[in-house]
Amino acid sequence: MERILLKPGITIRGRWYGGEYRVIKLIGSGGTARVYLVRDLSDGRKYALKLGSDMAGVEREYKVLSSLSSIDYVPRVYVRDDCTIEGRKRFFFIMDYLEGENLKKLCSTRRIPQGTTVEAAAITAVICLFLNHRGLYYCDIKPENLVFDKTTGNLYLVDFGGVVGAGQPVTQFTPAYDRAGWGSGQRVADESYQIFAILMMLVDLLLDGIPEVGRDLEALKQRVNKTRLSKGLKKVIIKGLDVENHSLKGLVSDLRRVLRMADGVGEGLNQCSTDVLINAGLAASVAFFIMVLVFIL
């Protein structure tokens, strides 16, 4: 179905709840939908509005997000409604606007210390653990779906349309991070699937892209081994890509050990002064999540 691009200044009106939202700008677009920064004309506040043509997809994502409203690292959702744009029916929901960038954009526009990237991977693993515990398996792990909120320094997971139950087929994934695409297991939702994606994301971000090795896992591991990443981190990545039943909890403690180790992650844990807020936010998030792990799981 044709995708509509909304221009700044246009007002979207909800059919059932009557909300009016003025478009400020397009924030991002992925495979299925577009996300806009909007102003709610009733309270004057800014929100993010996710608009799509697939009613079931928008509804599913809204339901999952609503069930996670008590979690700090997931955007809070408000209204879910329909609208008509240029004579065509569209579906949307309103959520908190995260003032920041996604990890992909952040890493491509400035030099992010390796430690920050490793912390982001650890936090992603903990968020997944937390969701798994509620029977929600988030498998479309990729830097575009992780957003830093500049105001708090916190990392948020977005894009819950592809969340499935344990053992169910994964429908939304990134080919380079998908273990089935590497001949390393099935495309079904489990912890190992998530671990594989998290480690591939780490390799992608730390090595400036996954080297084109024809989806040959052995060749990729050899490439990782030859890089200048710290010994500890290389071991975690190579072991994690290898072991089928490695747990997310184990991955989190391995990554934390790497962060604590004297040789750290090669360079620059605290070197980049412009990223102090992000580092502090991430460190706080790691501490928070460790608490969650200990007390809740």
Give the interface with Mg ion as residue ranges (CB under 5 A).
Answer: 30, 145, 159
Count CB atoms within 10 A of the CB of residue 17.
Answer: 12
> Residue 99 has which token pair?
């003032």
The whole-angstrom separation of Cα 140 and Cα 196 is: 11
d(CA 46, CA 291): 32
| Residue from 238, 170, 168, 226 nearest 202 by CA | 238
**Smaller CB separation from ligand ADP, 78 or 288:** 78
- Chosen residue from 12, 94, 98, 123 binding ligand ADP by CB under 6 A: 98
What residues contact residue 119 under an 8 Å CB cut-off, 6+ apart?
Answer: 255, 259, 279, 282, 283, 285, 286
Q: How far is the CB of 173 from Mg ion (least distance, A)?
A: 11
Tell me the residue number closest to ligand ADP, measured at CB.
Answer: 30
Q: Which does 131 bind (CB under 5 to 8 A by kind): Mg ion, ligand ADP, none?
A: none
What, of Mg ion, ligand ADP, none, does residue 33 touch, CB below 5 to 8 Å by kind? ligand ADP
Among positions 75, 264, 266, 281, the unique one binding ligand ADP when judged by CB under 6 A:
75
Does 102 help bind ligand ADP (rule: CB under 6 A)?
A: yes
Smaller CB separation from Mg ion, 106 or 220: 106
CB of 172 to Mg ion, least distance (A): 8
| Least distance from ligand ADP to the Cβ atom of residue 2, Å | 15
Residue 72 interaction partner, one of ligand ADP, Mg ion, none, beta carbon < 5-8 Å per kind: none
Concatenating the DSSP letter of every residue in 188-206 gives B-SHHHHHHHHHHHHHHHH
Closest chain position to Mg ion (CB): 30
- If binding is defined by CB under 6 A, does position 35 make contact with ligand ADP? yes
Helices 231-242 and 248-260, axial angle in degrees (round to 10)? 170
Total residues at the site for ligand ADP (CB under 6 A)?
Answer: 22
> Nearer Cβ to Mg ion, position 159 or 178?
159
Residue whose structure tokens are 């997971």: 157
SS3 content of the chain, % helix, strand, coil (to 5): 40, 20, 40
Q: Show contacts with ligand ADP in window 129-168 (CB under 6 A).
A: 144-145, 147, 158-159, 161
The nearest distance, CB 33 to Mg ion, in angstroms, is 8
Q: Which residues of 18-55 are buried (b: 16+ CB within 10 A; e: fewer)?
A: ebebbbbeebbebebbbbbbbbbeeeeeebbbbbbbee
